[in-house]
Structures are given as structure tokens and as C-alpha cells.
Amino acid sequence: MSCPLIANADTVRITRLDACGRPICAADSAYVFDCFATLAMNPNVDDGTDVEYKAANGKLCGFKKGCPTFKGYDLELHFFSISPEFVDIATGNPVYHGFDGAAIGYDDCDVQCKSGFALELWAEVLDATACELDATGKWVYFLLPWVTNGVIGDLEVGSEAVDLSLTGSTRNGGGWGVGPYNVQPADLAGTPGPLLTPLGATCHRRTFITSTPPPTVTCDYQPVVGTPAVCAP
């Protein structure tokens, strides 16, 4: 294969999960947006404990380097649009509705540690062959199937552009499986299909190149549909 370069981030989708990390299939369980600046995925690693054997005369008789333990990724998403739907799915905090039932705001309450969401990111590929076989191009697709502890960060409103932030942490395991969405080609014809295999029980992220384009951006909830094998009961 070629050596594709990541040009820039394109689209983000978040999906509501239950307490076991399974997609909740409902009319208000997903949100797709592109008004964001950056998404940082910072590894959280415990370095482990080194073991050394040192003689009375100071000689080092033996040494074993501690085995690092990967705890997951600490996320920090910087975005610009204050969307009640996004805050609802990402933090689990309640939406404030207008007289007509429309979502017009949200409440900042305690951290909802039992709520969670999946996060998908599409980043455009800079590759000379990206459009030779795929008329729509190619993307680097990132999947973090279980993010918890979503918290909206500092908010400063003034004369400058408002920069909002969301922090959270990934977990392994969960019940995302192959997911409820078509995110990659399923055959030589390029027919969009779900993941071919689920993530392993110890995995926090999957990254691959796909020619299946990202979903359409909207400013409202998106439905999540799937079979009983995919959706939370």
C-alpha cells in the first residue's frame, strides 16, 4: 500500500452507550459534527516498578525493568458549538427544553460516571492514489468504542471566539462489537459495511484507512439502529 498522510480532521460522531459500553439504539443516541479544533488522545501509562538487586559493595547484581501498564487514553476535545444534544450524549447531564419540547440548553450537574459514549473521528488522507479507485477519497478512521467521565471544561465568554472543551477517559472491553454503523468496504465493489471484527477485550482504540465516507453533519440528534446483537437490551 502507499504511505498516506493525515491532512486534517474532518468529522466526529459520538454515540450513546449504556453502563456496559453497548450502543443504545434509539432516535436520540448519536450526534455528528465538524465544528471542532482538535482532539487529543493522550496515553495514560503506569510505568511499573523496577526491581534491582544491589550488593553491599554497591555492585548491581541484577535488574528487571518494570512492565508498563496501559490504562487508556485521556481525551481532550476542543470545539466551538454549544449543542445540548452533544452535551447530553457526552456527559449524561440533562437537557433543558423549551415550551415546544425542543432542546434549547443543558444543566451542568455532577459528573455522570456511569454514562458513556463511543467516539469516531474521520481525518482526510493526503495520498496521490486516494481518488484513483475511490471517487469519494479516503479517510483515516479512529474508533474509541468506550469513553467515560465526560466533563465540559472551562468556559470564558468575552470578546474573543469561544473555545469549549470536553475531557474524558477511554475504557477497554465494553459491548461495541462490530458497531451499528457502516464504516468500511465489505467487498471489492466497495459496499459499505460494519467492522469485520470487534476490538479485543484489552483494546481502547482502532485506527484504519477507509474509503467509506463519514456521516452527514447535522445539528440535531441522529438515530442509531441495529440488531439485538448490536444494541443494548
Query: pLDDT value at position 143?
Result: 97
**Residue 159 DSSP one-character state:** S
d(CA 222, CA 26): 9
Instruction: Tally Cβ neighbours within 10 Å of residue 135.
Output: 8
Residue 31 pairs in a beta bridge with: 14
Q: Are 69 and 50 in contact (CB under 8 A)?
A: no
pLDDT higher than 70, residue 141: yes
Q: How many C-beta neighbours within 10 Å does residue 48 have?
A: 12
Asked if the model's pLDDT at residue 50 lies above 80, the reply is: yes
DSSP SS3 for 200: coil
User: Grid coordinates standing for 123?
Assistant: 481525518
On whether the pTM is more than 0.95, the answer is: no
> Whose CA is closest to 135, among 212, 69, 79?
212
Given a cut of 80, whether residue 97 has pLDDT beyond it is yes
Distance between CA 211 and CA 139 in Å, rounded?
6
Q: Are 136 and 130 spatial neighbours (Cβ–Cβ below 8 Å)?
A: no
| Per-residue burial over 196-232, b = 16 or more CB atoms within 10 Å of its CB, e = otherwise | eebbeeeebbbeeebbbbbbeeeeebbebebeeebbb
Confidence of residue 31 (pLDDT cuts 50, 70, 90): very high
**More confident call, 191 vs 162:** 191
The CA radius of gyration of the chain, in Å to the nearest whole number, is 21
- Which of 57-66, 168-177, 197-206 comes out lowest in average pLDDT? 57-66
User: Which residues, other chains included, contact 167 with Cβ-Cβ below 8 Å and sequence gap of 6+?
Assistant: 74, 75, 76, 77, 149, 150, 151, 153
pLDDT of residue 81: 81
For the ranges 49-58, 128-137, 167-176, 215-224, the lowest mean pLDDT is seen at: 128-137
Check: CB of residue 182 under 8 Å from CB of residue 198: no
Beta bridge partners, 135, equal none
Average pLDDT estimate for 106-127:
89
Local structure of residue 188 (DSSP, 8 states): T
Q: How far, in Å, CA of 115 to CA of 19, rounded? A: 6
Look up residue 47 and give its three cell numbers: 510505568
Q: Which residues contact 17 (CB under 8 A, 6 or more apart)?
A: 23, 24, 115, 116, 117, 118, 146, 174, 175, 176, 232
